Structure 1
Amino acid sequence: MGWVSRLSTVIRTQVNDWVGAVEDPEVRLDQAIADLQMELLQLRQSVAQAIATQKRTERQRGQHQTWAVEWYNRAHLALVKGEEALAREALSQRQSYLTLMAKMDDYLGQQRQVVEQLKGTMRTLEQQIAEARTRRDLFKARARSAEASQRLHTLMAEVGDRVTGGVFDSMEDRVLDLEAQAAALTELSQMQPTVSLTSQDSRETTASVEAELTVMKTRLGQG
């Protein structure tokens, strides 16, 4: 059954090559997930910076609004005092702040859209990473299961080669020898009591003959 052994060797070689091929995709999957996590980290930093910029712009707009109200009050006070020129100058300053506020409102509208887009991209990337991890773990589990199955088949092939080889034949010959020896010993042990019993009967027969002969001699007056 040498072909079984050769087949086992071929299977074992293929399994080793296959396992090596499986490990490479695992490494690539791990690296891909690591790259995605790095991109996610950078994206989170971008989102944080965008939000920080948005908050800073909102604070600046609030300050400009405060100044616009302040210049309006000054214009009103100047007009009450009859100082029309000062009132006109105050309203001009107020208008400058209102213009800046309008520009900031446009910028904030765009910035909010950017932040929402970044957040959406971040959530999508997080889902992709979670799915990639799940698929990677499933792939590893399937790979390990297939590897174990291949090893089991290889082991069974090796065991089959040993079983179908000369192991059981040699064992059977040994058992037959032991059984023959046991039968011979049994036969010898049964023969020994028969020989001993026959010798005893012979001695008893001789003694009886001698005793009877003595009696006969006595009766004949030869004793």
Structure 2
Amino acid sequence: MGVFSRISDIVNSNINAILDRAQDPEKIIRLIIQEMEDTLVEVRSSTVKTIAEKRELERRIAGLAGEIDEWQGKAELALSKDREDLAKGALQIKARLKADLALLEKQLVQIEEGLAKQSDDVVKLQQKLADAKAREASMAMRHTTASARLKIRSTLYDERVTDAFSRFEQVERALDELEGKVDVYDIGVKKTVAEELAELEATTQVENELNALKEKLAKKAEGSN
């Protein structure tokens, strides 16, 4: 299983669990980042082990190459001493060592290919992790803003708020009716002596000012003639 398919399986299972519990997206974002960080640690640890295996294998290959050269020298020595039987035996050992060497070299190629893939996974995972962290703040802000708007909207359209405004209107109508009843009592009520005298005084004062104004205008007209 690849690194990213593993992350996908783990994260998706946890996301589904979180959504089932109706938890907020910020927790999902933090979960994804945490899973990526944990996986990055594991991949790096695995890479370290692979590098150690590669170095061990390289030492074994170098050792086998030395043994092969050594048995080649022994075969030559035996043949120079007219010991063809020993030379043949040395070459047989050399052949077995060469077979072992070929197997180890094949393993080394596989390890190097695996190490290259692991290194590539580490680079990609680091890039995705950096991108996720950069987007975390923005997504968290979007969630906070959307939650606040949802709360306001739900409050505006809450039946309790509608009922409260309906009650306000009922109270206003009741106050209008009460004020109307007060106004009714004033209709057709006979004025008191004091009220009539006050009106008479006000009327007399207006008439006096009007007469004075007429005289003033009349004198002005005579002077102009």
TM-score (normalizing by structure 1): 0.53
SS in 2 for 1:125: helix
Equivalent positions of 1:61-210 (< 5 A) are 61-143=61-143
Residue identity matched to 2:125? L
8 Å contact 2:26–2:143 — kept in the other structure? no
Distance 2:43 2:129 in 1: 13
Q: Which amino acid aligns with 2:92?
A: S
CA positional deviation for 1:150: 9.8
Cα distance in 2 for partners of 1:142, 1:25 equals 10
* Cα distance in 2, alignment partners of residues 137 and 104 from structure 1: 50
Partners of 2:147 and 2:103 in 1: CA distance: 65
Instruction: Determine the C-alpha separation between the residues in 1 that align with 2:148 and 2:96.
Output: 77
CA distance in 1, matches of 2:138, 2:57: 47
Taking only aligned residues, the RMSD between alpha carbons, in angstroms, comes to: 2.7
**CA drift at 1:57:** 0.8
Amino acid at match of 1:130: A
Mapped contact 2:54–2:111 kept (Cα < 8 A): yes
Aligned to 1:57: 57
Task: Name the larger-Rg structure.
Answer: 1
Q: Where does residue 39 of structure 1 map in the other structure?
A: 39
Q: Report the secondary structure of 2:139's partner residue.
A: helix
Q: Indicate the residue corresponding to 1:209 in structure 2.
A: none
CA distance in 1, matches of 2:79, 2:121: 54
Structure of greater relative contact order (alpha carbons < 8 Å, 6+ residues apart): 1
Unaligned runs of 5+ in 1: 1-22, 152-223
Q: Distance in 1 between matches of 2:143 and 2:106?
A: 55
For structure 2, the 5+ residue unaligned runs are 1-22, 152-225
Q: How many residues align?
A: 133
TM-superposed CA distance for 1:50, in Å, is 1.4
- TM-score for both structures, normalised by structure 2: 0.53
**Is the 2:25–2:143 contact (alpha carbons within 8 Å) kept by the matching residues of 1?**
no
CA displacement, residues 85-129 of structure 1 (integer Å, 9 cap, x when unaligned): 111111111111111111111111111111111111121111111
Q: Would you say the 8 A contact 2:68–2:94 is kept in 1?
A: yes
Letter in 1 for 2:112: R
TM superposition shift of 1:140: 2.8
Superposition deviation, residue 147 in structure 1: 7.7
Q: Secondary structure at the match of 1:82?
A: coil
Q: Percent identity?
A: 26
SS of aligned partner of 2:82: coil
Shift in Å at residue 24 of structure 1? 2.0
Quote the offset at 1:81 in angstroms: 0.9
Cα deviation for residue 146 of structure 1 reads: 6.9
1:94 maps to a residue whose letter is K
